[in-house]
Amino acid sequence: MGISFVGTKEKVLAEHVIPVEEINANWVTLMPFGYMRSVTDSLVRYDTSWQWEGEKTKGLHATIPLFQAKGIKVMLKPQIWIRKGVYTGKINPKTPQAWKAFKSSYRKFILHFASVAAQHNLPLYCIGTELPSMIKQEEKFWRELILELRTIYKGKLVYAENWDQYQAVPFWDALDYMGINAYFPLKGERPVNLEDIRKRWTQTKKEMAQMSKQLNRPVIFTEMGYRSIDDPLSRPWDYRDNTQKYNPKMQAMALEALLLEFMPQPWWKGGFVWKWFPHHSSVGGENHKGFTPQNKLAEEVLRTYFTKRK
C-alpha cells in the first residue's frame, strides 16, 4: 500500500520521508514528467532546464535512496503533461509521419526512465499513464516496447489505464500487473454512509475480478483517491470543480470504503493514493478541497488500514 509522492521544485530531504513512514506506507510512486505542447505535438520533452527538481532524473537520483533507506519500495511512473492540463487520452498526431515521430520520442522517454529504475534496482516500473488513443491503434508498438524494456529492466512492469478504458487494453498479458487509475464514478442517493459506498462498488469489483482471472493478471490501483468535498463520488477525477463545500468526512469515508472492499481480494495487490506532497506540515488541512489526505481525517484512515496490509 502506498502513496503518490509529488515531485516539487525543492530537493527532497530525509525529513520529508518521515511522514510517509509514519502512515505505515510501504510503497511510493515517484513521477518524472515529460511535456507536450498540444495533443498533436510529436515530441515529449523531459529533463528540461525549466522543470521542477522532483520531475527530473537528477531529482529521482536524490529521492529514491531516501525511501530505500527506510525500507519503502518505489514504483517509477513517468507521465506526460500536456499544456493547460489537456487529457493525455486525446493525443493524436495528425499524420503518419507525426505519429512515427511521437512514438520514437515516447520510446526514448520511457527507456530513459527504465534505465533509472534499473540503476536503483526498483521493483516496479510503469510504462505509461492514461494513453488510450495510443493504445487502440498501436498494439505492435507497445508489445515491442515491453520486450525492449525487459532487456534493460528486470523488475515487474505495469501500465496505468484510466478507469473507463482498462478493459480495452490489448497487451495486459505481456505485463506483470493490470494497472488502473481507479476514479470510478460511484453514483447514488444522498445522504450516504460507509455501507452504501461499499455496495456501489459491487458491479465494478465483479467485472474487475473476472478480467483478472481471465487474464491471470493481478490488479494494482496505480492511482486512487478522492477530494475532500461534499460529493467526491460522482466524478472522482474532477479536480477542477470549485463549487462544492469542504468535507473531510466524505473523503475519509470514500477511501475507507475502497480499502474495505478491495483489501480482502486476493487478485488486488494494493494501490497508490493520489497524492502526497513533501512539505507535510504546510499541506492539506482545513478547507483544502484537493486530493491529498494530508492533515485531514483521511490521513488517519490510511494510517489505520496501511498497517493491515503489507
Grid-cell match 507497445, residue found:
142
Q: What are phi and psi of 102, to 5 degrees?
A: -65, -45
- pLDDT tens-digit map of 177-208: 999 999 999 998 888 999 999 999 999 999 99
Taken in order 66, 69, 72, 74, the sign of the CA dihedral is positive
Q: What are phi and psi of 80, to 5 degrees?
A: -100, 140
Res 51: pLDDT: 95
- pLDDT tens-digit map of 58-116: 999 999 999 999 999 999 999 999 999 999 999 999 999 999 999 999 999 999 999 99
Give the C-alpha separation, 59 to 299, whole Å.
26
Q: What's the one-letter identity of residue 213?
A: K
- pLDDT tens-digit map of 206-230: 999 999 999 999 999 999 999 999 9
Please state, in angstroms and as integers, the Cα–Cα distance from residue 100 to each residue in 36, 89, 110, 159, following that order. 15, 17, 15, 21
Res 190: pLDDT: 82
Indicate if the pLDDT at residue 235 is higher than 90: yes
pLDDT band at 137 (very low <50, low <70, confident <90, very high): confident
Res 222: pLDDT: 98
Indicate if the pLDDT at residue 160 is higher than 80: yes
Indicate if the pLDDT at residue 265 is higher than 70: yes
Picking from 255, 233, 252, 257, the residue whose alpha carbon sits closest to that of residue 244 is 233
Quote the pTM value: 0.96
pLDDT band at 309 (very low <50, low <70, confident <90, very high): low
Percentage of the residues of the chain whose pLDDT score is greater than 70? 99
Res 25: pLDDT: 97
Indicate if the pLDDT at residue 310 is higher than 60: no
Give the C-alpha separation, 247 to 244, whole Å.
9
Percentage of the residues of the chain whose pLDDT score is greater than 90? 96
